[in-house]
Structure 1
Amino acid sequence: MNKNNKISLAEVARSAGVSKMTASRVLRDEGGFSEKTRAKVMAEVERLGYLPNRLATVFAGDKKSTFVGVSIPELGNEIFAQVLEGIDRKLGSFGHQTVLGLTEHALEQEEKWIETVLSWQPAGLIITGRSHTSRAIQMLSGSNLPVVEIWDLNSSPLDMSVGLNHYDSGYEMGRYLSGLGYKKFAYVGTSHDTGNAASSRVSGYAQAVSDAGGVLEKQLLFRDTPGFYTGFYGTEQLLATGAQVEVIYYQNDNMAVGGLQYCQKAGLKIPEDIGIAGWGDLPIASIQPWRLTSTAIPHLKIGQIAAEMLLAKINGQPIDPKRDVGFKLIGGETVWKG
């Protein structure tokens, strides 16, 4: 039969010839029953398609919650999908379930999600970013639950933090490109209502360019998903302004590949006419005609470590509250070699 959450525990008990309390003890694996009784109850659970209401069980105080609230800005961004995969795999291997929230880079949206998910009495929360509304901070602090902030490393986390210094990763790219002899720079990315990790990266990039005596000639930010098409039309608009740029830094590799495609269409040679640099070392970079200049980030590892930190805190184990996963600059073939 199909699983059916309308089948009651009382029906399961009646079909198995046991009391409702005994059936409940079997499902909670509390003991006090024979193996024969357990087999009868579980056979009826399978036959009837009974689905226990685990959320109700948690509210009743009969069992610790296995739910973990996880917020990410968007699913369309491949980077966050990889981070989520790392979280879900690790939590799933220890019997926990992910309750996903999409914040769309809006602090007010995150606040509403936090309020909702806390009402479900989760075991803990994993939230993307280090910026939150004052009310969200108040709710998280008052919950007494383990909280891991991911992605943008927070030196003073609410509870725990795992990620990298995005400002430093942008600065290193700007310093690297300046060291190759570039003087006229541009940036193409996306914009949101609140400061985020990408904003930190471009700030670091701009500072490195300035420190080296270069000029950030143009910076274009679009309210869109940082994907191939955004990189393509962003590059088109950038070059249409007549800005004299020698190298373009993109928010991520997908946008950089979109930029590469536009440059090819426009008859520009890479890197002779213009240099291209991305961020993230995403899979698409590995199948391009040139090795893309980028910054490698352990996306999956961030998710795995966040889940491990949360589980350790839930189990009362000692843990370092801050984990820097670092980054690695990749000097590819899409920029000058000096």
Structure 2
Amino acid sequence: MDKKSNKNNKVSLSQVAEAAGVSKMTASRVLRGEGGYSEKTRVKVMAQVDQLGYLPNRLATVFAGDKNSTFIGVSIPDLGNEVFSQVLEGIDRKLGTFGHQSVLGLTQHTLQEEEDWIKTVLSWQPAGLILTGRYHSARASDMLRNAGIPIVEIWDLNSSPLDMSVGINHFDSGFDMGRYLVGCGYQKIGYVGTSHDTANAATTRLDGFCKAVEGGGGEVTRQLCLHDTATYYPGYYGTEQLLASAKDIECIFFQNDSMAFGGLQYCGAKGLEVPKDIGIAGWGDLPVASVLSKRLTSMHVSHLKLGQAAAEMMMARLSDEPVEPCRDIGFRLIPGSTVRNTKGR
């Protein structure tokens, strides 16, 4: 595949000045607040700054004399999720080998938090951006298109990215897990995860899962989406709530392995034998899953590899090398022994 050209057009100070009908020097003075211009001129310049989406370089003095920035902005939802910590490790480790540094932003799974961070980090003139997810606010998308720098969207593979994308097809991974559990004989299956206000990979996974279960003659009896983080404790009390409201559930699919660990702990505390009394399946194949007394049924994704691939794509683009705009790192089902009729049992 041919190298994809970067079509993002960066707005210059000269464009702002021309649109405002003033000289570049006057526009620069307005932005620096140096004086020597009228209030009417200031209003005209600032109106064009807002309309054109111009972002001043706040670190110009830091980079004076440097040919290129070495900063790469990297956004992830949160650091509490071990999955994203591994992705970040892969990115940072690979960027470091090329002499570049990560500037981290935490978006807390909200488009507004991401938009605010993008506005701030672009004003620092990074060499590129690596963003978690394929969905952005309209304002953020405009800023990204006008940034004039390489952009890699990670995690949820996007066949039509802003620039480049690396990740997996989350719908397919959920579908494969649903098909597998129905194939193991489960008919009434529950789901425990977290809720988000915007479209996200977990929601896409759940859609694929439900499609496969229903297509195989089974039923997703109850979906419990908690207003909490996708970690161990919500997995524990989420399992309690699910089983209290739907006692005929034969198996539970969790949003990720951390929540599944909580589910396993709850079942053990209540004397429920896994998988004899109930099946448990997670997603992500965290390292700790391999040392549990029972190998957790999960979906393996190389989070470290994903981060490294994103950094490699970024550095190739910065070096003007050919780059595939989309890279699927794939996934692999881990049968484990927490659902019945598996090879790991």
* TM-score, length of structure 1 as denominator length: 0.82
Q: What is the rounded CA distance, in whole Å, between the counterparts of 1:255 and 1:261 in structure 2?
A: 10
Number of the residue aligned with 2:44: none
Residue of structure 2 aligned with 1:127, choices 128, 131, 145? 131
Number of the residue aligned with 1:21: none
| Preserved CA contact (<8 Å) 1:218 1:243 | no
1:143-195 superposed Cα distances (whole Å, 9 cap, x missing partner): 11000000000010000000000010000000001111110010000111111
Number of the residue aligned with 2:179: 175
Residue of structure 2 aligned with 1:116, choices 97, 117, 120? 120
AA of the residue aligned to 2:196: H
Please state if 1:93 is matched with 2:101. Answer: no
Deviation at 1:232, TM superposition (A): 0.5
Please state if 1:164 is matched with 2:168. Answer: yes
Deviation at 1:330, TM superposition (A): 0.7
Please state if 1:82 is matched with 2:69. Answer: no
1:52-84 superposed Cα distances (whole Å, 9 cap, x missing partner): xx9444553643100000000000000000000
Describe the SS at the equivalent of 2:333: strand
Q: CA RMSD in A?
A: 1.3
Describe the SS at the equivalent of 2:316: helix
Q: What is the rounded CA distance, in whole Å, between the counterparts of 1:284 and 1:255 in structure 2?
A: 13
Number of the residue aligned with 1:145: 149
Residue of structure 1 aligned with 2:290, choices 286, 294, 310? 286
When structure 1 is superposed on structure 2, of 80-89 and 217-226 the one drifting more is 217-226
Residue of structure 1 aligned with 2:198, choices 194, 202, 215? 194
1:209-253 superposed Cα distances (whole Å, 9 cap, x missing partner): 110111110110112111111111000111111431000000111
1:31-61 superposed Cα distances (whole Å, 9 cap, x missing partner): xxxxxxxxxxxxxxxxxxxxxxx94445536
Describe the SS at the equivalent of 2:223: strand
1:83-121 superposed Cα distances (whole Å, 9 cap, x missing partner): 000000011111111100000000011011111100000
Number of the residue aligned with 1:231: 235
Q: What is the rounded CA distance, in whole Å, between the counterparts of 1:195 and 1:77 in structure 2?
A: 18
Please state if 1:252 is matched with 2:248. Answer: no
Residue of structure 2 aligned with 1:274, choices 278, 289, 292? 278
Q: What is the rounded CA distance, in whole Å, between the counterparts of 1:120 and 1:56 in structure 2?
A: 8
| Preserved CA contact (<8 Å) 2:78 2:107 | yes
Describe the SS at the equivalent of 1:100: strand
Q: What is the rounded CA distance, in whole Å, between the counterparts of 1:150 and 1:334 in structure 2?
A: 30
Structure number with greater Rg is: 1
Describe the SS at the equivalent of 2:253: strand
Runs of 4+ in 1 over 2 A off after TM superposition: 54-63
Please state if 1:60 is matched with 2:48. Answer: no
| Preserved CA contact (<8 Å) 2:221 2:246 | no
- Taking structure 1 as reference, are residues 61 and 243 closer, same or farther at Cα in structure 2, changes over 3 Å only? farther
Percent identity reads 65
Deviation at 1:287, TM superposition (A): 1.8
Residue of structure 2 aligned with 1:299, choices 295, 303, 309? 303
Q: What is the rounded CA distance, in whole Å, between the counterparts of 2:245 and 2:325 in structure 1?
A: 47
AA of the residue aligned to 2:125: Q
Number of the residue aligned with 1:218: 222
Aligned residues: 285
Describe the SS at the equivalent of 2:109: coil
Q: What is the rounded CA distance, in whole Å, between the counterparts of 2:273 and 2:63 in structure 1?
A: 63
Please state if 1:321 is matched with 2:300. Answer: no
Q: What is the rounded CA distance, in whole Å, between the counterparts of 1:309 and 1:105 in structure 2?
A: 24
Q: What is the rounded CA distance, in whole Å, between the counterparts of 1:71 and 1:313 in structure 2?
A: 19
* TM-score, length of structure 2 as denominator length: 0.81
Number of the residue aligned with 2:29: none
| Preserved CA contact (<8 Å) 2:91 2:311 | yes
Deviation at 1:291, TM superposition (A): 0.8
Q: What is the rounded CA distance, in whole Å, between the counterparts of 2:104 and 2:177 in structure 1?
A: 33
